[in-house]
């Protein structure tokens, strides 16, 4: 998973500096010469071609520092062949001094908005991603889910955060997920995503159809991952840049004081009966149990409408139906029933036939 797992300094060995093409405008001069640093610049956090042997230590230290800072990611240091074999004076090597990490405090109004959304949600769901592992916040994530008591859906890289036996875990969601988790996310009214970039494997395509009726709160260390949704037509109601909220002291303090809402009961009620759902689950018919007695006359089932009289019609007197023709002898009468006379007053018997005896 190079997209989020640090590659501890990829070292490549290019051709010797005196065989490099430089500014000649050709593709290659030295055998197998390749502009690795330029080719990998767009897919790495840092990519450099070392040209001074006394800068090797500096570039290696810088690459490792950048790879581990903030959102971890791959770096590349390209060291030409002749620099690798060069004799140098180690005392002249230059060291790299990392820049101090910027403050990562989450604004108080963002925290308040997050908590307010949790209190008002009827069908909330927590989404945890690989960032929880990167922040070593596994225990805090489980405690947060337990405190809130709401369902947890996991990205592919965070499936090991919760066992499938956990009552809050609905499993992995997305294109590689299971139906239960996808149903929960797609029918939620609040998605609180922590440590996940919500890529297309999680949201599906188009991204605008992801959790279509839900507010989305996205906590991610990379602001670009939050802002990318503007291009794809999916509004993020609250984007919080910083470490996963579960390890931020301010979040931990406020969430600890948040009374456990009865959110799980809301979710269960939604799954069993929810009239405003785009795709409500079918309800079981309330039929009487086997051997049960019907309701007494005059009583109606709960919620049933009384029978409405139809438009007034004159009563019809009961009349006797004329006798029906007798079936042929080959057709036996139904069990328990007697055959009816075949002759009607309007029709005489055929020539030679004897009339049926009077009943």
CA distance 142 to 256: 13
Task: Supply 354's token pair.
Answer: 């004897």
Percent of the chain with pLDDT over 90: 33
The answer to whether residue 23 scores a pLDDT higher than 70 is yes
Reported confidence tier of residue 158, pLDDT bands at 50, 70, 90: very high
CA dihedral sign of residues 146, 175, 205, 43: positive
pLDDT, greater one: 260 or 233: 233
CA distance 324 to 342: 7
The CATH architecture of the domain made up of 108-272 is 3-Layer(aba) Sandwich (3.40)
The answer to whether residue 30 scores a pLDDT higher than 80 is no
Q: Among the listed ranges 73-87, 148-162, 273-287, 305-319, which one has the minimum average pLDDT value? A: 273-287
Give the pLDDT confidence score for residue 7 in this predicted structure: 54
CA atoms within 13 A on the CB side of 119: 11
Interaxial angle between packed helices 249-257 and 108-120, expressed in degrees from 0 to 180 and rounded to the nearest 10: 30
Give the pLDDT confidence score for residue 263 in this predicted structure: 47
Residues 142, 146, 151: CA angle, nearest 5 degrees? 90
Average per-residue pLDDT in the chain?
74
Summarize the confidence of residues 50-55 as an average pLDDT: 94
Reported confidence tier of residue 278, pLDDT bands at 50, 70, 90: very low
Give the pLDDT confidence score for residue 66 in this predicted structure: 92
The answer to whether residue 328 scores a pLDDT higher than 70 is no
The boundaries of every CATH 3.40.50.970 domain in the chain are 10-92
Residue partners of 339: CB distance under 8 A and separation at least 6: 326, 327, 333
Give the pLDDT confidence score for residue 260 in this predicted structure: 46
Give the pLDDT confidence score for residue 274 in this predicted structure: 43
Give the pLDDT confidence score for residue 344 in this predicted structure: 45
Q: Among the listed ranges 135-144, 204-213, 245-254, which one has the minimum average pLDDT value? A: 245-254
The CATH architecture of the domain made up of 10-92 is 3-Layer(aba) Sandwich (3.40)
Residue 248, burial from CB neighbour count under 10 angstroms (0-12, 13-18, 19+): buried
Residue 233: which of 212, 252, 248, 253 has the closest Cα?
212
Give the pLDDT confidence score for residue 170 in this predicted structure: 94
The answer to whether residue 257 scores a pLDDT higher than 80 is no
The answer to whether residue 236 scores a pLDDT higher than 50 is yes
Reported confidence tier of residue 173, pLDDT bands at 50, 70, 90: very high
Summarize the confidence of residues 163-191 as an average pLDDT: 93
Reported confidence tier of residue 348, pLDDT bands at 50, 70, 90: very low
Edge-to-edge, what's the strand order for the sheet holding 10-12?
10-12, 75-78, 46-49
Q: Among the listed ranges 91-100, 144-153, 255-264, which one has the minimum average pLDDT value? A: 255-264
Task: Kindly report whether the global pTM for this prediction surpasses the value 0.75.
Answer: no
pLDDT, greater one: 104 or 345: 104
As beta bridge partners, residue 128 has 154, 194
Cα 103 to chain center, whole Å?
Answer: 31
pLDDT, greater one: 261 or 26: 26
Q: Residues 203-223: pLDDT tens digits? A: 998 988 999 899 999 988 888
Element holding 169 (H helix, E strand): strand 169-172
CA distance 172 to 174: 7
Q: Among the listed ranges 57-71, 118-132, 278-292, which one has the minimum average pLDDT value? A: 278-292
Give the pLDDT confidence score for residue 189 in this predicted structure: 94
Give the pLDDT confidence score for residue 202 in this predicted structure: 93
Give the pLDDT confidence score for residue 228 in this predicted structure: 93
Task: Supply 204's token pair.
Answer: 């599906």
The boundaries of every CATH 3.40.50.1220 domain in the chain are 108-272
The answer to whether residue 155 scores a pLDDT higher than 90 is yes
């Amino acid at each position: 998973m190079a997209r989020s797992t640090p590659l501890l300094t990829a070292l490549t060995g290019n051709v010797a500096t005196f065989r490099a093409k430089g500014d000649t405008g050709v593709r290659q001069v030295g055998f197998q010469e390749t502009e690795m640093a330029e080719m990998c610049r767009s897919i790495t956090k840092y990519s450099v071609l070392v040209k001074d042997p006394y800068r090797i230590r500096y570039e290696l230290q810088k690459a490792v520092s950048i790879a581990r800072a903030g959102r971890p990611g791959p770096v590349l240091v390209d060291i030409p062949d002749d620099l690798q074999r060069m004799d140098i004076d180690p005392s002249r090597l230059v060291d790299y001094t990392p820049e101090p990490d910027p403050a990562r405090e989450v604004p108080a109004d963002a925290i308040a908005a997050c908590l307010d959304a949790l209190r008002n949600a009827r069908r909330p769901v927590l989404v945890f991603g690989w960032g929880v592992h990167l922040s070593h916040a596994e225990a805090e994530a489980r405690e947060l889910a337990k405190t809130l008591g709401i369902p947890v859906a996991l990205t592919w890289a965070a499936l090991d955060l919760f066992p499938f036996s956990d009552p809050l875990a609905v499993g992995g969601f997305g294109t590689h997920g299971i139906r239960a988790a996808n149903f929960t996310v797609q029918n939620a009214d609040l998605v609180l995503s922590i440590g996940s970039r919500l890529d297309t494997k999680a949201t599906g395509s188009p991204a605008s159809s992801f959790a279509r009726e839900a507010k989305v709160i996205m906590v991610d260390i990379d602001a670009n991952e939050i802002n990318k949704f503007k291009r794809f037509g999916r509004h993020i109601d609250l984007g919080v840049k910083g470490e996963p909220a579960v390890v931020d002291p301010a979040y931990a303090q406020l969430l600890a004081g948040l009374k456990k809402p009865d959110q799980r009961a809301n979710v269960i009620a939604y799954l069993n009966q929810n009239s405003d759902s785009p795709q409500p689950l079918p309800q079981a018919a309330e039929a009487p149990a086997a051997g049960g007695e019907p309701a007494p006359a005059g009583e109606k089932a709960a919620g049933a409408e009384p029978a409405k009289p139809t438009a007034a019609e004159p009563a019809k007197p009961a009349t006797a139906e004329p006798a029906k023709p007798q079936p042929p002898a080959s057709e036996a009468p139904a069990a328990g029933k007697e055959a009816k006379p075949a002759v009607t007053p309007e029709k005489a018997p055929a020539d030679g036939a004897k009339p049926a005896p009077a009943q």
